[in-house]
Structure 1
């Protein structure tokens, strides 16, 4: 190894130098600690500095840290050559850890390219060298086109041609990355790392949050929008204009004067040499090259959100093995310090660069390789003097210059903070120190959080978590469009018919009793939209899914909801065919089995009504439950008219305990008190199979959420006593086991009549236990309209059984429209003539009886939709504008108007708000199921038709 005076320059002897070198190139952990590094001068003979340079180079290469080694005999003859060599070596795979992207030099590349064009332009007609590379040949062709443009607008032609080439260079982002001898896939991954992990993770989080807060449709839209934005960012960064944007830095540099604005004008100014001061122009271009090099390094180490910049814990090192006055490195070092001083003096560009420069120099080497230069001056002093910062010239300023002293002082202080008070560190590597030297400081390791795989791992983790959230939401949602899946497995929400509720367990739509009707509603709704005519919208709120606890398909009892939807289909078609200027649209809202989710769905309807002003009313509310009551209170806040179809609990629309009814709720069904009074009268009067009942057993559902059953049982009990009968026994049940026990106990000593005030869901269990426990004699059973759903599906079975005879009080019945009740010569309500062909068209002529809709519920929903449509149409003709919910409510609230004088369930005229908008003199029917499964209406009380109605056996005063 090299030595001095017989002593070898070993690593042990150079521990101090190595420790200083480590401190210089170690990057601080905090942004505010970063400073421009001083120049390290290693003073010694050429063989000494060469040995030390090799040691420093080896330490960098062992760590795969960025380093460039410029040998004493380098072929670089100018500053541009030094920069090319430095850029090439700093971009080598050996200058970065595995998996890390290389240092990039887009500004230096552009500056060198402009410098090459300028050199070709200056060379003029000199002989063309042989063995030119493809890039050099292309540059010469470009210079030829720029120097001799086509005849015409020469300046514009030059600008267009140069702009085309610049954009082409700016477009090839992957080429910039690929200069470090990387494969294209790895290059593209490094490029994507700046966009994809953060972008995809952000999109995933937004989508998951949107799915949880809103719905899957919004989540899908957010994901598509976000991914499109990420894709656009990726594509945009490979476009020419995006590449050119990074060259705007050149326009802010002071080294090349441009007569026009923008980078294109700057490039033309750099290309065209001025005839005067060629040396000064050459120096200015060299300063620009050095400034571009330092700016590229600064950007590579800028602490932004990109991981790679934080992972670089070692500053790039430029090692000049040994300099003499002839070496291009001397001018390069001087220019670096000039650029640094200029940048710190300019408030707009005050910043730091991470470059560490070490220079080997002989203490006796002359400062200039020029015989005419003054003798005695050394190169080491030249470098040290040029790099020294003078805070004060030693002379006092005059009174005029005094006003600038503070600005000058502050500017110099800023330069000191950035550059330090000393710009050169000298080390005589041939001098030994006494005593033992400590080992050089250990290298700082890359932070674990900056591992190159971490962004992708984090992205995958966030993406997986978000996919999980969206998957959970996908399970939660039956459809992206506001159709949510409940904890019971039901699908609830609003649809225009496009979503099919109540699919069976196999998911076969052809066996779904609601799908054909919903499909028809969707078709008719689409026709409304396509017509372009004004329309009014009603929303049907009902239980469109069977209780998931019911596994037997025969017990789903969706005939009620199926019938109400069928009535809506008929009402919509008839209205849209009859009126040329107005249309009716129908939306369907599923509140779940037993109206479990009615309040939540009511909130959806309310929100939708605020956005869609065509919604003028909500119909349905067929079950009298607490949830239904809560839904009515929610919707009443929207001032929407609410039409109850089969809801008969008298206080369903109570707003509070003071007995105030909601002014917006209109009831089509007779209240329980009226139904019970008629049922008790007929039981006592012998209308139930000719038996004058003296005693009755009342069965009812004691579920606290059920407002209907207990109230009906109480009302019947009181009415029966008033009619002269014995106080009925009451039997409550909450589950099938209770029902079985109650019926068995009642059958120990059965009464003359069983009055079933329970729900249709349990009616099959009731008659089965009745048949087993009260055998030997046919029992009489009287029930309310609630079991109309059961009768619709099981009429044939009920008639064929000899164990009980069933009478019930339906809200409407086709069998009531016969001459006995409507009068001779009067035609039945047109609904019933449309009903049979419509059902056959929807479900087929041979559809099983237990899959057909309830005609009773179809009639009342038909009346609800028709009366709203007719009122809306009247408002439209009266006001010549699209009807609003407020206008429809005002018309419904008019006590002098028969809103539907020929309804399928009777004449409809609403009473005052004080009585809950009951239909005045609403018909109450008594029907029975005959042995062949057909039905017969035996009594009609109330106003079924406007005139000519037959007289029935009714309670006094009815």
Structure 2
């Protein structure tokens, strides 16, 4: 309690014995607790003739605070004009408490003024029922705010003038009218809460009126004559107390609510049993008992006699003890609905006490509000939040990397300057670097086909199986020139996913068993360094979306990729990797399958080629791991080098790491096998180093399968030396344009269909393998296509076994789960295998590495000659049909052109 400066007490400060104890009780009850609220009684002061006027001292105690005074109202029950009723008394109470005169924001009332206004309306004179309802509606609308005058539409004028008048009419008349109708209907949670409150409270049986307008009619003059006056008065008082409850509600998001630090007080003078003041006290007790609601109003009543409900008053000097006794008994009294449940009756002693100690009566001031609820703080806090949020958003998101505001599933964040996460919508395309237009274009194509697939699914009455696959790759982080396409391999894999989508969209509308595919594109950052963060986001997506059944991609065999596989295994998502080939990658996940042959098979093929075709006895091997990586963390290079050492043994006469700037003049004219066992990003520098050899280059330069990413990049090949033929490993030589055209001629349905799709006008840009535009397809297109279609066929098989195609049965995404789809892929491909575009794909029961998967060596005579297709010179593995033993390696003639 805040005290004013002490002053010498005047004689009017003299009080009866116990008067100071009573003021101390008020000082205890008036401040609001920091948490919760206390129940407030009706303090009835019995004031026999000759007793000092305690109520006058209470009024001075409350009304003379220096700054923040207690909101209070004074009503003299004996001074009311004859015929005054409870509504008039409440009207006076409302007027006094609504004043902005207490050093705080004024109390605002919504329910009580509406109820009081309705009681002052008359609809019965000269109006039938419908006219009365219409008049009431008009008055209610005008009470909310007068409507603008209707302006007639112009007789002539242009379209813009007429449209502007129509818009003005909508804003002034039609929209407010519609909003009002919604508000009074009580059916929309956001608007019309005070109308809805009247239909939910208990007085006057509001449910009998069905709507608020019907209930409002019953409160108007004339119509109200049929209601019980006691119920009408209780409704008014209940509405008044509800407004106080809402004004004193503490909401965390509204600091102003916490600035009300003292309860409002009603000082009711000259109360006598049976008079208007006593009726108001009885109504207050009944409303509190019947509604079971507390309210923040403290009532101090004074009269010559005690109330009939409680005739045994406590001495005034025992005010504290009386309050504590009442507080302990209240729950039981309230449960029994005793008429005296809320009364604390006190009787002053007629003997006066001396002046108060320490210099007189000190007015009570409302406590200061918490510092964080001051008026300046919301603005300051908003500025701080905006600044902090902007700084945080700047670190978490940025241009071209932000959550979607226009729909779609998008979850991204900036990690070390890279946009990591996933998206299924054009609202978020990965990689806005110059030169990566084709990478963004294929993402846009996929997202457009996502919308098309969802639309086809809806039109099929959701009967077709519908699944989501995540393409997870490295879509950012490479340093590029403005005219350089640096993500050719990732773009090709996305094109394979888009081709699978496209093929499924071309199925007949009546084919209820044919699946539809939605693709989510995810980025794990350069060298999959941020795969763990992306996987955490994908785990959340899989939990929320039961259509997510697997992941395709992963791009590079690194330690970060292995960790991502382990985490995806933990969350139960199978992975089909089109190009990963490090040995034993499946050890990181029970749900992992790869489409390409492992490094063990690649090494066996290269060694056989060197021995049987090149007829050389020794090999030199140079390895690289890429920028910022290490030999231990690069699992692809690590296992490839280990396999070469084991396979060649003593014939491997040189094994070195190559780095940018290291000269290779020692390899000039070398007639053994010169094998590049590194990453494609360093192959350009490797070729440049061999340029020093001039007209005496090494005779047999062979690159691993990573080199195909370099060969697929025309921008990098343009500046390469033209006198060094390059032979490199291919994982999908059967998916080249020449091989696909040959397959079409021999009626190979799977590869012929794939060729048809990639030649279409409305899929890839530019279309591939057309006779008039022989743009190469890229081997990773077929690998990613095979991976996606294996998952799709597994889902279709499960749907058929669940009798999904029965008439009228809708697809239920929860009918299958990712683990079950993985098991079905293994089951389908364990025997004869899956006839993929890239070759036959079979898996043993205990491994995620394919058995006898086809590999080939392709040769480029002149690297800068982008238009010339590579020529297959050697191959191993099964192309179409399984064999009892691994298919022998063999030389290949030039493919037909």
**Whole-angstrom distance in 2 between the partners of 1:489 and 1:540:** 23
Show the 5 A alignment for 1:364-379: none
Q: 1:92 to 1:40 in 2, by over 3 A?
A: farther
Q: Give the secondary structure class of the aligned counterpart of 1:720.
A: helix
Alpha-carbon offset, residue 756 of structure 1? 1.2
User: 2:552 touches 2:788 (CA, 8 Å); kept in 1?
Assistant: yes
State whether structure 2 residue 862 is matched by structure 1 residue 930.
yes
User: 1:570 touches 1:834 (CA, 8 Å); kept in 2?
Assistant: no
CA deviation map 1:255-277 (0-9, x unaligned): xxxxxx99998999995499xxx
State whether structure 2 residue 359 is matched by structure 1 residue 438.
yes
State whether structure 2 residue 191 is matched by structure 1 residue 235.
yes
**Whole-angstrom distance in 1 between the partners of 2:520 and 2:355:** 95
Alpha-carbon offset, residue 534 of structure 1? 1.9
Deviates more, 1:711-720 or 1:526-535: 526-535
CA deviation map 1:704-762 (0-9, x unaligned): 322111211221233233xxx632322236xxxxx125556966997854311111122
User: 1:700 touches 1:758 (CA, 8 Å); kept in 2?
Assistant: yes
Match of 1:881 among 787, 804, 812: 804
> Partner residue of 2:320?
none
User: 1:620 touches 1:645 (CA, 8 Å); kept in 2?
Assistant: yes
Alpha-carbon offset, residue 242 of structure 1? 3.0
**Whole-angstrom distance in 2 between the partners of 1:162 and 1:795:** 79
Q: 1:44 to 1:644 in 2, by over 3 A?
A: closer
Alpha-carbon offset, residue 783 of structure 1? 0.7
> Partner residue of 1:316?
265
**Whole-angstrom distance in 2 between the partners of 1:820 and 1:837:** 11
Deviates more, 1:453-462 or 1:437-446: 453-462
Alpha-carbon offset, residue 471 of structure 1? 7.7
> Partner residue of 1:204?
none
State whether structure 2 residue 527 is matched by structure 1 residue 594.
yes
> Partner residue of 2:633?
705
Q: Give the secondary structure class of the aligned counterpart of 2:726.
A: strand
**Whole-angstrom distance in 2 between the partners of 1:496 and 1:696:** 46
Match of 2:412 among 473, 477, 484: 484
Alpha-carbon offset, residue 448 of structure 1? 1.4
**Whole-angstrom distance in 2 between the partners of 1:85 and 1:498:** 61
Q: Give the secondary structure class of the aligned counterpart of 1:781.
A: strand
**Whole-angstrom distance in 2 between the partners of 1:716 and 1:910:** 25
Match of 1:300 among 240, 244, 258: 244
> Partner residue of 1:354?
298
> Partner residue of 1:898?
832
> Partner residue of 1:730?
655
User: 2:238 touches 2:287 (CA, 8 Å); kept in 1?
Assistant: no
CA deviation map 1:282-327 (0-9, x unaligned): xx87x9869966994697379643766972636535486xx8xxx9
Number of residue pairs the alignment of both structures matches: 767
Match of 1:837 among 759, 763, 768: 759
CA deviation map 1:71-92 (0-9, x unaligned): 9996833544982784365146
> Partner residue of 1:778?
697
> Partner residue of 1:939?
874
Alpha-carbon offset, residue 898 of structure 1? 3.3
User: 1:542 touches 1:620 (CA, 8 Å); kept in 2?
Assistant: yes
Deviates more, 1:76-85 or 1:55-64: 55-64
User: 1:912 touches 1:918 (CA, 8 Å); kept in 2?
Assistant: yes
Alpha-carbon offset, residue 766 of structure 1? 2.5
> Partner residue of 1:763?
683
Q: 1:790 to 1:502 in 2, by over 3 A?
A: farther
Alpha-carbon offset, residue 806 of structure 1? 1.6
User: 1:927 touches 1:937 (CA, 8 Å); kept in 2?
Assistant: yes
**Whole-angstrom distance in 1 between the partners of 2:638 and 2:500:** 33
Alpha-carbon offset, residue 791 of structure 1? 0.7
> Partner residue of 2:174?
none
When the two structures are superposed, what TM-score results if normalisation uses the length of structure 1? 0.63
Bigger radius of gyration? 1
Q: Give the secondary structure class of the aligned counterpart of 1:503.
A: coil
CA deviation map 1:766-808 (0-9, x unaligned): 3234435x56732353111111111111388368614633211
State whether structure 2 residue 486 is matched by structure 1 residue 557.
yes
User: 2:620 touches 2:675 (CA, 8 Å); kept in 1?
Assistant: yes
Q: 1:25 to 1:598 in 2, by over 3 A?
A: closer
**Whole-angstrom distance in 1 between the partners of 2:785 and 2:283:** 87
Q: 1:34 to 1:454 in 2, by over 3 A?
A: farther
Show the 5 A alignment for 1:328-339: 331-333=275-277, 335=279
Alpha-carbon offset, residue 11 of structure 1? 6.1
**Whole-angstrom distance in 1 between the partners of 2:682 and 2:274:** 101
Q: Give the secondary structure class of the aligned counterpart of 2:42.
A: coil
Show the 5 A alignment for 1:578-727: 581=511, 582-592=514-524, 593-598=526-531, 601=534, 618-636=551-569, 642-655=575-588, 662=590, 664-685=591-612, 687=614, 692=616, 694-701=618-625, 702-721=630-649, 726-727=651-652
Q: 1:85 to 1:77 in 2, by over 3 A?
A: farther
> Partner residue of 2:709?
789
Q: Give the secondary structure class of the aligned counterpart of 1:804.
A: coil
**Whole-angstrom distance in 1 between the partners of 2:355 and 2:575:** 101
Q: Give the secondary structure class of the aligned counterpart of 1:709.
A: helix
**Whole-angstrom distance in 2 between the partners of 1:60 and 1:563:** 79
**Whole-angstrom distance in 2 between the partners of 1:69 and 1:823:** 100
**Whole-angstrom distance in 2 between the partners of 1:340 and 1:915:** 80
Alpha-carbon offset, residue 652 of structure 1? 0.9
User: 2:828 touches 2:834 (CA, 8 Å); kept in 1?
Assistant: no
Q: 1:812 to 1:97 in 2, by over 3 A?
A: same
User: 1:557 touches 1:793 (CA, 8 Å); kept in 2?
Assistant: yes
Match of 1:913 among 832, 839, 845: 845
User: 2:464 touches 2:515 (CA, 8 Å); kept in 1?
Assistant: yes
Q: 1:945 to 1:74 in 2, by over 3 A?
A: closer
Alpha-carbon offset, residue 840 of structure 1? 9.7
Tell me the C-alpha RMSD between the 2 structures.
Answer: 6.0
User: 1:493 touches 1:591 (CA, 8 Å); kept in 2?
Assistant: yes
Q: 1:37 to 1:808 in 2, by over 3 A?
A: same
Q: 1:620 to 1:876 in 2, by over 3 A?
A: same
Match of 2:780 among 819, 842, 857: 857
